[in-house]
Amino acid sequence: MARRIMILDTTLRDGEQTPGVNLNTEEKTAIAKQLEALGVDTIEAGFAITSKGDFEAVKAVAESVEKCVVTSLARAVKKDIDIAWEAVKNAKKPGIHTFIATSDIHMKYKLRMTEDEVLQKTADMVAYAKQYTDYVEFSAEDASRSRREFLYKVYETAIEAGAIMLNVPDTVGYTTPDEFGKLIRDIKENVKGIGKVGISVHCHNDLGLAVANSLAAIMNGADLIECTINGLGERAGNAALEEIIMALDTREDFFGFTHSINTKRISKTSSLVSTLTGISIQPNKAIVGKNAFAHESGIHQHGVLAEKTTYEIMTPESIGLMHNSMVLGKHSGRHAFEERLHEMGYELSKDDLNDAFVKFKDLADKKKHVQTEDLEAILLDKMFKVEEVFKLDSFQINSGNKLIATATIRLKTDGEFITEAATGDGPVDAALNAIERCMDYPMKLEDYKIKAVTGGKDAMGEVNVRIAKDGKRFVGHGVSTDILEASIRAYLNAANRAYSVLVLKKNGE
């Protein structure tokens, strides 16, 4: 019988540690529900001790997920473990993931602890976490650069103290598949009591080997892979869930493992995470990049038309991409619209469906054909809007190659209208400057990304921005067939997030 490989998704913890990513509670909960639908075994919901906001987000995820184990990361420190438990205790399946570094370089320069002190801390803190929950995962940070004999002792100590899952992380992405596979074999052969617990791996992608190392680990006896959607994470990121799963499925003849992932939800999950984090997926990204199933070469096109498997080793449908011949346009009715949403995996309430249908009709009046990607964009834009303290009423922009770009913006707040005009280095800059004047709330634009959701002159434009204010970063998202309007809506979306967190919550409103 094929061995089942378990999947721990750490998009909400390590993935959120991607520079510039800052998810709020609503966004984390939405991603968690999608991960549950995707079929992951465990969701690492965050690092609860990090901040009050992260604690609340982990707590919300724990209370919203039904099927998955939900864990919070915690250093091998009592306060970390206490806070982690408070955050996850209401989960149907709560867990604590505690860690301590075990490599010589980390113990000397970061921990300033001896081997005996690390062993004692491991014993004490695993036992301390165990009093809260049976599901305790212990991680030896920088395991791949740790001395073997000491690493074995640390894992034996964790097992004796009650850990049921031992994590072997390649924390800095240093190892290679052969080395990492051997490390897993050595642990299985030399750690006393290893047969009583599971082995998990957490591989970083600094050398581009995270997926290869993870696959080598399970080939040598690891039971669980820790990974993220789109490979997000610290520095160069983590092993990408979609690449691992599709490798296991596509090469089932070689690997021979099973898993619980519903692959047809991969594309939707990837798109949701990309939108909410503001991190675009590179076109040539394996599995979920827009070019993953694209063929431009005439030879390739001819081959695919004759027989898809000539150049496609997996089908677009297997990850949830759709090729539906039914065209949606301004003459389409509610039934066809609702059916398309159902096929895309969206189940909306009656009110949300009505709102979405109105937006669809507005869009259909502006462009001839509404494609699946257009619907995805307007649905995500609707689903994750923050409270609009400042709402766009109207805008007017004048620009030209011999004109100074000027924008006039009118915002509505508290039932009143505020109108301001500003100039800038181009129409977008002018519009954003005018918004800042209206809000009287200066912000720093750190990142601005624009892309066409679909092809053609009437394509929907999608804009993602990241702003900085008072040392915090906020992501905004906007879509429209007018790219200037999409830019304004994205900036307002981020500005409203910042204003809500830094002004309203601070004032207790």
Write the pLDDT tens digit of every residue in 266-301.
999 999 999 899 899 998 999 998 888 775 455 655
- Region 215-238: mean pLDDT is 97
Q: φ, ψ for residue 444 (rounded to 5)? A: -110, 120
Helices 372-383 and 334-344, packing angle to 10 deg: 80
What is the distance between the alpha carbons of residues 390 and 225, in angstroms, rounded to a whole number? 44
Same domain, 221 and 348: no
- Region 472-479: mean pLDDT is 84
Question: Strand, coil or helix: what is 45?
Answer: strand
pLDDT at 272: 93
What is the distance between the alpha carbons of residues 167 and 101, in angstroms, rounded to a whole number? 12
Task: Assign residue 453 the CATH number of its domain.
Answer: 3.30.160.270
**β 444-452/461-469 pair status:** antiparallel
What is the distance between the alpha carbons of residues 175 and 143, in angstroms, rounded to a whole number? 10
pLDDT at residue 24 is higher than 60: yes
Which pLDDT tens digit goes with each residue over 104-143?
Answer: 999 999 999 999 999 999 999 999 999 999 999 999 999 9
Same domain, 47 and 189: yes
- Asked if residue 397 belongs to a domain, the reply is yes
Q: Which residues of 310-333 are buried (b: 16+ CB within 10 A; e: fewer)?
A: eebebeeebbbbeeeeeebeeebe
Q: Taking phi first (over 0 means left), then psi (-120 to 50 degrees means alpha), and beta for anything else, what does residue 426 get?
A: left
Same domain, 156 and 222: yes
- Asked if residue 288 belongs to a domain, the reply is no
Cβ pair 62, 85 in contact under 8 A: no
What is the distance between the alpha carbons of residues 400 and 230, in angstroms, rounded to a whole number? 39
The larger pLDDT score, comparing residue 231 to residue 293, is at: 231
pLDDT at residue 307 is higher than 50: yes
pLDDT at residue 251 is higher than 60: yes
Same domain, 336 and 432: no
Question: Strand, coil or helix: what is 22?
Answer: coil
Residue 324 — very low, low, confident or very high, per pLDDT cuts 50/70/90?
A: very low
- Asked if residue 298 belongs to a domain, the reply is no
pLDDT at residue 202 is higher than 90: yes
- Region 346-350: mean pLDDT is 76
Number of domains in the chain: 3
What is the distance between the alpha carbons of residues 95 and 89, in angstroms, rounded to a whole number? 8
In the block, tokens 């992260």 appear at: 54
Question: Strand, coil or helix: what is 165?
Answer: strand
- Asked if residue 263 belongs to a domain, the reply is no
Average pLDDT, the chain: 89
pLDDT at 326: 45
pLDDT at 328: 65
pLDDT at 298: 52
pLDDT at 345: 63
- Asked if residue 154 belongs to a domain, the reply is yes
Cβ pair 6, 223 in contact under 8 A: yes
What is the distance between the alpha carbons of residues 370 and 79, in angstroms, rounded to a whole number? 52
pLDDT at residue 466 is higher than 70: yes
What is the distance between the alpha carbons of residues 435 and 418, in angstroms, rounded to a whole number? 10
Domain boundary among 254, 271, 302: 254
Q: What is the CA radius of gyration of the chain?
A: 25
pLDDT at 478: 86
Domain containing residue 100:
6-254
What is the distance between the alpha carbons of residues 319 and 263, in angstroms, rounded to a whole number? 5
- Asked if residue 120 belongs to a domain, the reply is yes
Which pLDDT tens digit goes with each residue over 41-100?
Answer: 999 999 999 999 999 999 999 999 999 999 999 999 999 999 999 999 999 999 999 999
Which pLDDT tens digit goes with each residue over 426-451?
Answer: 999 999 999 999 998 888 999 898 98
E strand or H helix that includes residue 69: strand 69-75
Same domain, 401 and 365: no
Same domain, 36 and 110: yes
Same domain, 225 and 338: no
In the block, tokens 């619907």 appear at: 375
- Region 258-265: mean pLDDT is 97
Question: Strand, coil or helix: what is 505?
Answer: coil
pLDDT at residue 341 is higher than 80: no
Same domain, 356 and 403: no
What is the distance between the alpha carbons of residues 54 and 21, in angstroms, rounded to a whole number? 13
Same domain, 120 and 37: yes
pLDDT at residue 325 is higher than 60: no
Same domain, 429 and 357: no
pLDDT at 473: 82
Residue 367 — very low, low, confident or very high, per pLDDT cuts 50/70/90?
A: low
Residue 387 — very low, low, confident or very high, per pLDDT cuts 50/70/90?
A: confident
The larger pLDDT score, comparing residue 96 to residue 320, is at: 96
- Asked if residue 403 belongs to a domain, the reply is yes
- Asked if residue 279 belongs to a domain, the reply is no
What is the distance between the alpha carbons of residues 74 and 416, in angstroms, rounded to a whole number? 47
What is the distance between the alpha carbons of residues 277 and 61, in angstroms, rounded to a whole number? 17
Q: How many CA atoms lie within 13 A of 458 on its CB side?
A: 11
Least confident of 21-25, 84-88, 290-294, 377-381: 377-381
Please report, rounded to a whole number, the percentage of residues in the chain having pLDDT higher than 90.
65
Same domain, 418 and 457: yes
- Region 320-338: mean pLDDT is 66
Same domain, 377 and 395: no
Q: Which residues of 215-233 are buried (b: 16+ CB within 10 A; e: fewer)?
A: bbbbbbebbbbbbbbbbbb
Please report, rounded to a whole number, the percentage of residues in the chain having pLDDT higher than 70.
90
Domain boundary among 362, 383, 404: 383
pLDDT at residue 371 is higher than 90: no
pLDDT at residue 302 is higher than 80: no
Domain boundary among 228, 254, 280: 254
